[in-house]
């Protein structure tokens, strides 16, 4: 920090973390889950700084951030995530005139080459649904099949599904109201199959404890179904169906549903709406193809110069 810079006020790193997160929470620019994750990471960074006798925000230097990243034996992707968290925090410190420059933003970011995302084919999804219908516990079957349908047919996030209330579902008009990130609300139409799945689940739901609960999905103990429980339900169903992917959670079903819609030629803007993406480039990550489809596309390429230059016309007949 240059000698001529004087912070607007004296404040510890711990205090600055809480002020930063409180502002984000009040404004609503971060979800509760993001605030929880950032608090964990920033407090860990503050603890590291304190162990090096650095307690004030003005004490933060680039070398302490580099040391923090080197001490944590984590992947490049995790380091990139930490840099982004610290960058956001230091943007706040600069705005509050607690530091002069965002030194985290100047750190070179590791290059990440994410592996190609997994998705299920139509046949694999069919096998998953059939296996669940045949092998799951009687009381859980209709609940789980509805869960799977909301992930694959409507491409909902797991948080959107577990937070559904009975009032959000309008079976008479065949639509459901979804609370997205940042408390945005969208209504989504329901097809006949999903409506039937709702009716079947509602028929057995009274057998659960706590059936008077406002939440659509209940655990076996009658409480609101949690995200980790849904992850377990999906991963176990995939295992029983002998389907093995790198990631076995509900996002695999959401990703697969969107991918199958895109491959079927559905409107990408409508798929974006289902997914709740603000940026169409995010939706493009859900586009995939099979090797045989690539071969067929190449096979449809027009034949150029078939007459070996004997005339100037181009034969554009498909093979």
In the chain, the percentage of residues whose pLDDT exceeds 90 is: 55
Looking at residue 225, its pLDDT comes to 94
Whether 112 shows a pLDDT value over 60: the answer reads yes
Residue 313 pLDDT level (bands cut at 50, 70, 90) = very low
The CA distance from 28 to 150, in Å, is 27
**End-to-end alpha-carbon separation of the chain, Å?**
68
Of 65-79, 201-215, 262-276, 281-295, least confident by mean pLDDT is 281-295
Looking at residue 306, its pLDDT comes to 58
Looking at residue 163, its pLDDT comes to 94
Mean pLDDT for 248-277 is 89
Residue 297 pLDDT level (bands cut at 50, 70, 90) = low
- Say whether pTM exceeds 0.85: no
Who has greater pLDDT, 312 or 134? 134
Mean pLDDT for 123-151 is 93
Domains of the chain: 13-106 (1.10.150.130), 122-288 (1.10.443.10)
DSSP structure string for the chain = --TT---SS--BHHHHHHHHHHHHHHHT-S-HHHHHHHHHHHHHHHHHHHHTT--BGGG--HHHHHHHHHHS---HHHHHHHHHHHHHHHHHHHHTTSSSS-GGGGSPPPP--PPPPP---HHHHHHHHHHHHHHS-HHHHHHHHHHHHHHHTS---HHHHHT-BGGGEETTTTEEEEE-GGG-EEEEE--HHHHHHHHHHHHHGGGSTTTTSSBS-B-TTSSBPPHHHHHHHHHHHHHHTT---S--SHHHHHHHHHHHHHHTT--HHHHHHHHT-SSHHHHHTT----HHHHHHHHHTSBP-STTTTSSS-----B-
Looking at residue 131, its pLDDT comes to 94
The CA distance from 25 to 257, in Å, is 32
Residue 307 pLDDT level (bands cut at 50, 70, 90) = low
Q: Which of 132, 131, 153 is nearest to 141 (CA)?
A: 132
Average pLDDT, the chain: 86
Mean pLDDT for 55-74 is 89
In the chain, the percentage of residues whose pLDDT exceeds 70 is: 87
Of 107-121, 144-158, 283-297, least confident by mean pLDDT is 283-297
pLDDT of 217-241, one tens digit each?
Answer: 999 888 999 999 999 999 999 999 9
Whether 319 shows a pLDDT value over 50: the answer reads no
Please list, in sequence order, all residues whose beta carbon lies within 8 angstroms of the beta carbon of residue 66, skipping any fewer than 6 positions away: 107
Positive or negative: CA dihedral 35, 226, 246, 178: negative
Whether 193 shows a pLDDT value over 70: the answer reads yes
């Amino acid at each position: 920090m240059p000698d001529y810079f004087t912070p607007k006020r004296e404040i510890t790193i711990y205090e600055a973390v809480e002020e930063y997160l409180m502002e984000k929470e009040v404004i609503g620019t971060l979800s509760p889950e993001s605030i929880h994750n950032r608090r964990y990471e920033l407090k860990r960074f503050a603890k590291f700084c304190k162990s090096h006798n650095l307690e004030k925000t003005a004490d933060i230097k680039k070398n302490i951030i580099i040391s923090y990243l080197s001490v944590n034996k984590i992947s490049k992707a995790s380091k990139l995530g930490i840099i982004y968290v610290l960058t956001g925090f230091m943007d706040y410190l600069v705005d509050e005139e607690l530091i002069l420059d965002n030194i985290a933003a100047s750190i070179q970011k590791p290059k990440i080459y994410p592996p190609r995302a997994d998705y299920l084919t139509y046949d694999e999804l069919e096998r998953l649904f059939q296996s669940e219908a045949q092998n799951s516990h009687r009381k859980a079957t209709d609940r789980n099949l509805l869960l799977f349908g909301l992930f694959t047919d409507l491409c909902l996030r797991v948080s959107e599904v577990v937070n559904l209330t009975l009032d959000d579902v309008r079976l008479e008009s065949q639509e459901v109201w979804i609370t997205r990130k940042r408390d945005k609300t969208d209504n989504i139409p329901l097809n006949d199959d999903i409506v039937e799945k709702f009716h079947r689940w509602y028929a057995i739901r009274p057998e659960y404890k706590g059936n008077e609960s406002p939440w659509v999905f209940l655990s076996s103990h009658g409480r609101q179904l949690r995200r980790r429980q849904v992850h377990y339900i999906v991963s176990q169903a995939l295992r029983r169906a002998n389907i093995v992917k790198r990631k076995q959670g509900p996002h695999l079903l959401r990703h697969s549903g969107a991918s199958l819609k895109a491959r079927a030629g559905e409107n990408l803007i409508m798929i974006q709406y289902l997914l709740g993406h603000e940026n169409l480039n995010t939706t493009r990550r859900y586009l995939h193809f099979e090797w045989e489809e690539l071969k067929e596309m190449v096979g449809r390429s027009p034949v150029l110069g078939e007459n070996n230059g004997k005339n100037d016309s181009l034969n554009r007949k498909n093979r």
